[in-house]
Structure 1
Amino acid sequence: MSDNPSPSKATKLLSRGTWREASYVADLLRTETVGGAILLIAAVAALVWANSPWRDAYATLRDTVVGPASLHLDLTLGTWAADGLLAVFFLVAGIELKREFVAGDLSDRRKAALPVAAAVCGVVLPAVLFVVTVLALTRGDSSADVGAMLRGWAIPTATDIAFALAVLAVIGTHLPSSLRSFLLTLAVVDDLIAITIIAVFYTETVKFLWLLAAVVPLAAWRLLLKRKLTNPLLLAIPALLAWMFVHNSGVHATVAGVLLGLLVPVQREAEDDPNRHSLAERLEHRIRPFSAGFAVPVFAFFAAGVTVVGGGFADAVTDPVAIGVVVGLVVGKAVGIFSGTWAVARFTRAELDEDLSWTDVFGLSVLAGVGFTVSLLVGELAFGGGSERDDHVKLAVLAGSLIAALLASGVLRLRNRHYREVYARETEDRDLDGIPDIYEQPR
């Protein structure tokens, strides 16, 4: 039998990946589950503190300015979390993206087309629904500043990797690993689109000399990694310089994190060898605990602290922007991702893998409506951190994410029951090498 698939054979959507990929996703899920729990604790702590009698102390801490003014780095702690710590989050996202498309199962263009198409549709439709909702709710209201409201169109476009994977790990203990891989890749592509939106649409002025200067530390970062010089202190120098130059250019500083991640070398031979750990894998392994366990939770702590007592909640539920965010996350994400996946199957030679059902895809599409980190960041950029409308956005993001998580839980729990018996049989059927036979069957 030929190793190459027949040209007439249809590509299976969401088909089972390699054992290495399944193992990688399983390890990632364990990390992100813990990170998601810490993220949730940080967000709840911020909400409790911001609505306690000591709420002024929370605001004082968030707005405390630290850093050298001579380098234009005299920033509040909240800004340091959004611009600095989130750059680490996007650094990890950049490494993930490169590994997936250079050496992962999605290096196959036919497989990559599915999550890319789904991610694009899952960005476009929430944005469109946000705009439609705001315009519909402000029709005839001459006092509404519709132009200012529409600045938030990108808020419901991003999926939060940590929260979504944490929810999936809890409710989907027996769901196929291909669904988890799809969600991971979808969220990574989602983040790349989101950071592009931030760079293009939420950058008011660009100082090109600073951007040009950032090329030097970025090149140094790449050179050090190519020569396998991975001392953390050594790598921190060009990384921090690149971040500072991008920050001073007027482009959001998290863009530097993505660029650094994309510049990490990825060797396909090392990635394909289960007995080796590639440079990209080792670097990601080192940085991820800091990102998931500290950087993102600290950002969440400073971003989620919105005061809802004293009328704040009542104002939020009537704000067209807040309603648009919830509609975008709950309806736009689910319909956009599901329709994008269906369109790939309908208009190409691809078809859904026989082990899965469209109900699985729908449940995952609903789960992608769990938006938090990037949505909160875009809200701050659109309306200004600490503003009344930004507080409404925070409540909307929390509410929309909670609704999406609950709806997805209902759908995926039903599918989880179906797969429980299937996975029980597979885990019993192992060879001496410890790899389930199902991963060694020809596809």
Structure 2
Amino acid sequence: MATGPSVPRPGRRPLIGHGSYAEALRIGEILRKETVGGMLLVAAAAAAIIWANSPAADSYFALRDLKVGYEPWHLDLSLGAWAADGLLAVFFFLVGLELKREIVAGDLRQVSKAIVPIAAAVGGVAVPAMIYAAVNWGDGESLRGWAVPTATDIAFAVAVLAVIGSHLPTALRLFLLTLAVVDDLLAIAIIAVFYTSEINIPALLLTLVPVTVYAFLAQKYRRFFGLKPAAAWLILLPIGVVAWALLHASGIHATIAGVVLGFTIPVLRSKDSGGPAAGPGLAEIFEHRFRPVSAGFAVPVFAFFSAGVALGGFQGLASALTDPVALGIIAALVLGKPVGILTATWLMARFTRARLDPSLRWVDLAGVGLLAGIGFTVSLLIAELSFGLGEPANDHAKVAILTASLSAAVLAAVLLGARNRAYSRIEAEERADTDQDGIPDVYQQSSGS
């Protein structure tokens, strides 16, 4: 596989383009926000591991397993389950919102730009799943975890990129964000299809009622009761909670409700973002309000209750890491993710009219592939769904997820850190070419072509 930049050919569109200037500014803002969220995520996971392996370990597990709720509504859940089923719904709401924004108002509304990261995400899901299955072939219990290494932790990966990639091309950052969002969508589909054992049809049908009301009010919020966008969430939030509770009672994982509700929110970019709206739309308002809740509270709390595992000293750690479940997860995340992403991208370049943007090299995509190997939040969730909370296989899977995510982060930091230093010179040249309007020429040339 070539490591140099692709030579432009007449009649071929960029495989990974710069995107619009407004999109570049938005991606940069997301990167800055996710840095703090990623740090909180790491801190929460570290606190859980330390507490779970301290003399006070029993108190950690007692807190995690403490049941709170109302049994007749199927909501008599442990605090750990509330974090996985309830708080993560906020995270998945933002995933659905982000995906819709990319499709409706982002650069992904163009099929030519969307197809490459989508193909890369599919490759990044399929290859890790096959590697895990190959390692655990013949063991039916272990094979239940085939989907654990398919997910990318968008907050963790973007946080690492924000710390080490200040000079990396915007095209690369947009590619990672889009890939991670599509990756999450695939993981959500896997959870809904493969981890739903029994469906309560009446509860599922009843879920359609609050979802329909939610969608109607979200679309008509400017006229209905004279609501302002900033106040719409006060009415929509209770309706969303009802939809979440009914979907939970139906047997489908309740986080799916977050994605569904996210897709009902209307997306309309403001004039500041290059759109027709006079001010920020409801999607922008909700993203502004709920992203801090997700990154600063929901995901760290979930990580705190999910990452805690009693290692049992060096021997326990060695035993966990030699389990085929752990070996499959580590190989799938650290090797399978970059191989799948690079292979799918190369196939698009080889068999379509697309080409790699001249500002990028294949080694840059290898770094993004390694970043995608950081499977944390959704991987921990799927591990619990696969093996059950407190089961040895689940504990071994947690150790493997943490080990693989740390390894992928370190390898990506080394590779992309070196590339970041190389790209700093390119960024200096682009600043020199910036016109008086403050927009680098590269974006004006892209939009005009």
TM-score, normalization by structure 2: 0.92
Query: In the alignment, which residue of structure 1 is the partner of 2:47?
Result: 45
Alpha-carbon displacement from aligned partner over 1:325-369 (angstroms, at most 9, x marks no partner): 001101110100010111111110000011111111111111110
Alignment of structure 1 residues 124-135 onto 2, 5 Å: 124-135=126-137
Q: 2-side partners of 1:214 and 1:226: how far apart?
A: 19
Q: Does the aligned pair in 2 maintain the 1:198–1:378 contact within 8 Å? A: yes
- Helix, strand or coil: the match of 1:307? coil
Give the distance between the partners of 1:72 and 1:25, measured in 2 at CA.
39
Residue type at the aligned position of 1:63: D
Shift of 1:269: 7.4
Contact 1:103-1:272 at 8 Å conserved across structures: no
- Spell out the pairing of 1:308-327 with structure 2 (5 A cutoff): 308-310=311-313, 311-327=315-331
The Cα offsets for residues 275-326 of structure 1, whole Å up to 9 and x where unpaired, read as 7422212211111110011000000000000111244312201210010000
* 1:211 equivalenced with 2:200 (yes/no): no
Match of 2:352 among 348, 355, 365: 348
In 2, Cα distance between the equivalents of 1:346 and 1:433? 38
Output the CA distance in 2 between the equivalents of 1:269 and 1:303.
38
Q: Secondary structure at the match of 2:353?
A: coil
Q: Which residue of 2 aligns with 1:4?
A: none
How high is the sequence identity, in percent, across the aligned residues? 55
1:171 aligned partner, one-letter code: I
Could you say what secondary structure the match of 1:22 adopts? helix
- Return 310-319 or 295-304, whichever deviates more: 310-319
Structure 2: any 5+ residue segments left out of the alignment? 1-9, 222-226
Runs of at least 5 residues in structure 1 that lack an aligned partner in the other structure: 1-7, 139-145
Question: Helix, strand or coil for the counterpart of 1:220?
Answer: helix
TM-fit CA distance, 1:70: 2.3
Contact 2:131 2:331 in 1 (8 A): yes
CA positional deviation for 1:9: 1.9
Residue number in structure 1 paired with 2:444: 440
Q: What's the secondary structure of 2:210's corresponding residue?
A: helix
- Alpha-carbon distance in structure 2 between the residues aligned to 1:268 and 1:113: 22
Q: Could you list the per-position Cα deviations for residues 223-271 of structure 1 after superposition, in whole angstroms to 9, with x for gaps in the alignment?
A: 1111224433211121001100100000000010110111111236766
- What pairs up with 1:191-210 in 2 under 5 angstroms? 191-210=184-203
Aligned partner of 2:148 among 143, 147, 155 = 155
User: 1:90 maps to which residue?
Assistant: 92
- 1:79 corresponds in structure 2 to 81
Tell me which of 291, 296, 311 is aligned to 2:294: 291
Q: Which amino acid aligns with 1:328?
A: A
The 5-angstrom pairing of residues 180-199 of structure 1 reads 180-199=173-192
The number of residue pairs the alignment matches comes to: 427
Q: Which amino acid aligns with 2:108?
A: L
- Is the contact between residue 85 and residue 254 of structure 2 (CA under 8 Å) also seen in structure 1? yes
Q: Match for residue 11 of structure 1?
A: 13
* Displacement after TM superposition at 1:22 (Å): 0.5
1:165 Cα offset (Å): 0.6
1:306 to 305, 309, 314: 309
Show CA shifts across 1:377-426 (max 9, x none). 00000000121111100000000111111111222122112110111232
State which of 117, 120, 127 in structure 2 corresponds to 1:115: 117
Moved more, 308-317 or 37-46: 308-317
Q: Which whole-Å CA distance do the structure 2 matches of 1:210 and 1:412 have between them? A: 48
Q: Any conservation in 1 of the 2:98–2:181 contact (CA below 8 Å)?
A: yes
Matches for 1:153-302 after TM superposition, within 5 Å:
153-228=146-221, 229=227, 230=229, 231=231, 232-267=233-268, 272-273=274-275, 276-302=279-305
Question: What is residue 66 of structure 1 aligned with on the other side?
Answer: 68
Q: Check the 8 A contact 2:387/2:394 in 1, yes or no.
A: yes
Alpha-carbon distance in structure 2 between the residues aligned to 1:201 and 1:365: 25
Partner Cα separation in structure 2 for residue 318 and residue 20 of structure 1: 48
> What is the rounded CA distance, in whole Å, between the counterparts of 2:248 and 2:293 in structure 1?
21
Instruction: Tell me whether 170-179 or 91-100 shows the greater mean CA deviation.
Output: 170-179
Question: What does 1:408-419 correspond to in 2, within 5 Å?
Answer: 408-419=412-423
CA contact (8 A) 1:50 1:307 kept: yes
- Partner deviation per Cα, 1:7-47 (whole Å, 9 max, x = no partner): x7211011111111000001000110110000000000001
Residues 42 and 298, structure 1, Cα contact 8 Å, conserved in 2: yes
CA distance in 2, matches of 1:312, 1:427: 53
Aligned counterpart, 2:5? none
Pair 1:357-2:350 in alignment: no
Distance 2:43 2:103 in 1: 33
- Contact 1:326 1:396 (8 Å CA) reproduced: yes
Question: 2:258, 2:270 → 1: CA distance?
Answer: 26
Cα distance in 1 for residues equivalent to 2:309 and 2:428: 45
Partner Cα distance (1:81, 1:268) in 2? 32
Q: Which amino acid aligns with 1:251?
A: I
Amino acid of the structure 2 residue aligned with 1:381: L
Instruction: Calculate the aligned-residue CA RMSD, in Å.
Output: 1.5
Structure 1 residues 207-226: Cα deviation after superposition (integer angstroms, max 9, x where no partner): 11111111111111111111
1: CA distance, partners of 2:336 / 2:442: 36
- DSSP 3-state at the match of 1:168: helix
Q: In 2, Cα distance between the equivalents of 1:211 and 1:169?
A: 40
- The alpha-carbon deviation at position 428 of structure 1 amounts to 4.2
TM-score, scaled relative to structure 1: 0.94
Paired residue type of 1:423: E
Q: Could you tell me which amino acid in structure 2 is paired with residue 62 of structure 1?
A: R
CA contact (8 A) 1:363 1:408 kept: yes
- After TM superposition, the structure 1 = structure 2 runs for residues 29-44 of structure 1, keeping only pairs within 5 Å, are 29-44=31-46
